[in-house]
Structure 1
């Protein structure tokens, strides 16, 4: 899609409200994985605690930002994502920042960028199915790989991802799925660890049978925050089991705490 324009994501397209709770006093803000979009988080609305909004960052080149060019580097995508999350940080309501797989690194990067800019930080950072970024991008993290053929990428997304079965039977949809995946893999492969740490409480989630995440992930992630941290190993692989994924917000410790008292600048307006 080389003919796309690149207008720069407006807040109403870069930050998608998947669920607005009545009298919301907190938000769960989600960042996407390689080849994914905001739709992967739609099912979570049913499992959210009361007074919690569900928001997702839409990366350039998909959904409401389809006409925009894909990000061409990690830094470009991280800056774009930080702008979207900054719209949440600018309110007075607490928020939890979540990222899965590549999105876990993105959530960590966004949190450190917000801190460097003096923006309000999330009350917790949750990283899911990803190795600690301080190792840099290793061969273990390059799965799937840019060099994989199209059918290899589709096989990965079908086996380890959330690719719906009906996509495989539609040539246009499979072409789009592969294009999104290749765009995100290109960005992922430009990642470099900045050396930053965070002061935000950190929760690490990983699958017991995930072929990508190493056994040392929880311990290594714990060295990257000066606040409390925890590591929860869940059933299944890179996306856990379907049942665990659908109810994953129930595993997020920060969402189990009582919602803060309402403020005059809530998230549901």
Structure 2
């Protein structure tokens, strides 16, 4: 079995797979508790980027195309039954590009694409100059991860954990810096955009940019909290997205309470 795919609670007879892509500098840990929140007929599968967790001995991807080639290879392991792609932050771009590349690779497309807490990839130039950047010092990156809820106070007290966290974050940022949106690319599946009320994103503008990248229906939902929403919303997020069936031109912009 591929180490790129993590199944926290295997459900081999599930009718739908929810395949999740992590944020910059992240792994699968933040998503694993979702497995028990999903309906019995939905299996949670997590894509583990190279260089962390069970793939710690694998080299980091050197650039975006290498990462996506690895993701497409992993996708072959679940594309035999209906699946939905969900990506958070950096993972939103990975999920979008994976949906595009699945078609080229002759794989079944996802039933839907859910992009969370990220601006559209058409903003790749602007994103390269937004914090954090590969030019930042280690302490700046640690402060950024802490402010965005990616590090606990306990983790900050462990130098070894901090060294690994910074190394992974830098590797992911370097990959992100090689991304280039290819003009005209669209996701030919229903697309749903999730964003936090208190996140740094310009919600209405980002919503409109994402809307232009879908061709089979679009929805947008504003959720309480910041980049990772509130703990309550994050904990039940899979229960919200697993039932999504976006309808063309629908825009659910009202806040969803925890």
Check whether TM > 0.5: yes
Query: In structure 2, do the counterparts of structure 1 residues 97 and 139 end up closer, same or farther at CA, with 3 Å as the change threshold?
Result: closer
Q: Is 1:175 matched with 2:196?
A: no
Pairing of 1:158-237 with structure 2 (within 5 A): 158-195=146-183, 196-237=185-226
Aligned length: 244
Query: In structure 2, do the counterparts of structure 1 residues 246 and 192 end up closer, same or farther at CA, with 3 Å as the change threshold?
Result: same
Query: Where do 5+ consecutive residues of structure 2 fail to align?
Result: 246-258
Q: TM-score, normalization: structure 1?
A: 0.86
Give how far 1:65 is off: 1.1
Q: TM-score, normalization: structure 2?
A: 0.89
After superposition, the C-alpha distances for 1:16-66 in whole angstroms (9 at most, x for unaligned) are: 112223731111100111100011101212221221111011111111111
Counterpart Cα distance in 2 of 1:43 and 1:201? 26
- Note the aligned Cα RMSD (angstroms): 1.7
Counterpart Cα distance in 1 of 2:176 and 2:128? 13
The runs of 4+ residues in structure 1 deviating greater than 4 Å are none
Counterpart Cα distance in 2 of 1:102 and 1:224? 16
**Secondary structure of residue in 1 paired with 2:31:** helix
After superposition, the C-alpha distances for 1:66-89 in whole angstroms (9 at most, x for unaligned) are: 111101111111111111112111
2:90 to 92, 102, 113: 102
**Secondary structure of residue in 2 paired with 1:233:** strand
Aligned to 1:12: 2
After superposition, the C-alpha distances for 1:85-134 in whole angstroms (9 at most, x for unaligned) are: 12111x1x211101000100000001100111221011010000111112
Counterpart Cα distance in 1 of 2:239 and 2:131? 28
Aligned to 1:150: 138
CA contact (8 A) 2:22 2:47 kept: yes
**Relative contact order (C-alpha < 8 Å, sep 6+): which is higher?**
1
